[in-house]
Structure 1
Amino acid sequence: MQEQEIVIITEAAAFQIKEMIKENEEEGAVLRVAVHGGGCSGLSYGMGFDHELKEDDIQLSQHGIDFVIDQESAPILRGTVIDYKQSLMGGGFTIDNPNAIASCGCGSSFRTATNTGTPENC
C-alpha cells in the first residue's frame, strides 16, 4: 500500500477542512491526523491543525489538503477513510478504520488486533 493510501480524505471532508482553515485563520497550517492512547477501548483519534512538522512525519496531500501523520500512528491508520456527513442534527467527521476490531459504546475510542492502547474509564 502506498503512502497516499494510509489515510483517504473524501472530497466532502476536504471541503469542510478548507472551511475550518478559513474560519479559524489557520492559513499555512497542515492537518495532523494521529492516534493517541486513551478512551474506553484504549485508542482515540486526534485531528487538528499544526504549524510545526516533525522530522519523521509522513506528509500527504489530497483534494488540496496538506496533512501529516506521525510514524507511530501510520500503521494503525492504514486504509482509514475520513469523511464528513451532514444530517438533521448537524454535521461531523466520520472515521472508518478497517484496523479497528472493537470500539466503545460512545464511538470515540477503539482498539486494533495488535494495539490495545491504554484504556481508561469513560
Structure 2
Amino acid sequence: MTEQTTAPAHGVKLTDVAVEKVKSLLAQEGRDDLRLRLGVQPGGCSGLIYQLFFDERTLDGDAVVDFDGVGVVVDRMSTPYLDGASIDFSDTIEKQGFTIDNPNAGSSCACGDSFS
C-alpha cells in the first residue's frame, strides 16, 4: 500500500483490496475527480453512523490521504472518531461490500451500522 499525504492527515487506512475496488468503481463511473469520503454523523441505535460515499468536493478542514491514487477524505468533526480505522472490501458468499474496522467504537448495534 503506497500512502501519500496531500493535506492535513487523518488516521484512516485503506487496504490494498479496498483501493483496487474503489479504482474499479471509479473506472465504471468514468470519473477521475472523485474521492472516497468517510465520515460519521449522529444516528442509528448506538449513537453514530458511518457515511461512505464518493465526493468531488474538498471542504475547509478536510483531511485527505492518498492511497495509490485513491484519495480518502475525512471531515474535521469525524477525524477523532475515525483515527486508526481501516476500510476493507469483502466479496464472499456471507458478505459483500466495504467494511470499517474502527478501534474507537466502544460498542456497536446488532445491525452493525452504528457505533458509540
What TM-score, normalized by structure 2, do the two folds share?
A: 0.86
Q: Partners in 1 of 2:22 and 2:94 — Cα distance?
A: 19
The match for 1:50 among 49, 55, 62 is: 55
Aligned to 1:33: 38
The match for 1:59 among 61, 64, 82 is: 64
Structure 2 gap ranges (5+): none
Aligned partner letter, 1:42: G
Which 4+ residue blocks in structure 1 deviate beyond 6 angstroms? none
Q: Partners in 1 of 2:57 and 2:102 — Cα distance?
A: 26
Cα deviation, 1:73-112, whole Å, max 9, x if unaligned, reads: 000000001011121245211110001011001010000x
Aligned partner letter, 1:84: F
Residue 83 (structure 1) aligned with residue 55 (structure 2): no
Q: Partners in 2 of 1:108 and 1:90 — Cα distance?
A: 14
Does the 8 Å CA contact 2:11/2:82 hold for their aligned counterparts? yes
Aligned to 2:29: 24
CA change 1:50–1:86 in 2 (3 A) is: same
Q: Partners in 2 of 1:29 and 1:9 — Cα distance?
A: 16
Does the 8 Å CA contact 2:10/2:63 hold for their aligned counterparts? no
Structure 1 gap ranges (5+): 112-122
Number of matched residues?
A: 110
